[in-house]
Amino acid sequence: MKFEIERKYLLNKDKWANYEKPSGDFYRQGYILKDPAKTVRVRLTNSNAYITIKGSVKGISRVEYEYEIPQADAKELLDHFCSSELSKIRYKILFEGKVWEVDEFQGDNEGLIIAEIELESEDEKYNLPDWVIEDVTGDVRYYNSQLTEYPYKNWEKSKGL
């Protein structure tokens, strides 16, 4: 059984904008199943496609199974079987020996930028890049599956601001 151990962070947008980064990859991501106990996700990039099954989060860990699938299959699944989806540009940044995946969301989630780091254990020590500002690991609003239902563009309205 494979476990995903991950932390999520918000970024300082000014520092991130000025950071020299590699070109990003476009991701189209949809959900066949979204349930608090499990999700089934389809992801299509410029060069690959995956189907991923994730279990419920316990601490910062959850069971994850991910399999590469043909891109044509992923497009068909996204077009005909996913109940919701989002798009984003993902940057992979190597910082002090760890890969940070930084997502700049598009569409209804435009303006939201989240950095994720996968860890070997829940208590693994690591340093934060200077563009990281706030840990949002436990906040379900930042789960990609939640962003398809409650997009970032609606957050201020829902807070009554």
Reported pTM: 0.93
Give Dmax over CA atoms of the chain in angstroms. 44
Q: Which CATH superfamily is domain 3-158 in?
A: Hypothetical Protein Pfu-838710-001 (2.40.320.10)
Q: Report the distance separating Cα 119 and Cα 99, nearest Å.
A: 10
Residue 47 φ then ψ, to 5°: -125, -15
Residue 124, H or E segment: none
Residue 128: name the closest of 3, 8, 5 by CA. 8
Does residue 143 have an active-site annotation?
no
pLDDT value, residue 161: 35
pLDDT value, residue 71: 98
pLDDT value, residue 29: 98
Which one is catalytic: 27, 31, 91, 143? 31
Residue 77: CB atoms within 10 A of its CB come to: 20
- In DSSP terms, 129 is beta-bridged to none
Residue 141: name the closest of 156, 152, 130, 132 by CA. 152
pLDDT along the chain (161 residues), means of 10: 92 96 97 94 97 93 96 98 97 97 98 97 96 95 96 75 35
pLDDT value, residue 22: 96
Residue 32 φ then ψ, to 5°: -85, -35
Q: Report the distance separating Cα 105 and Cα 65, nearest Å.
A: 24
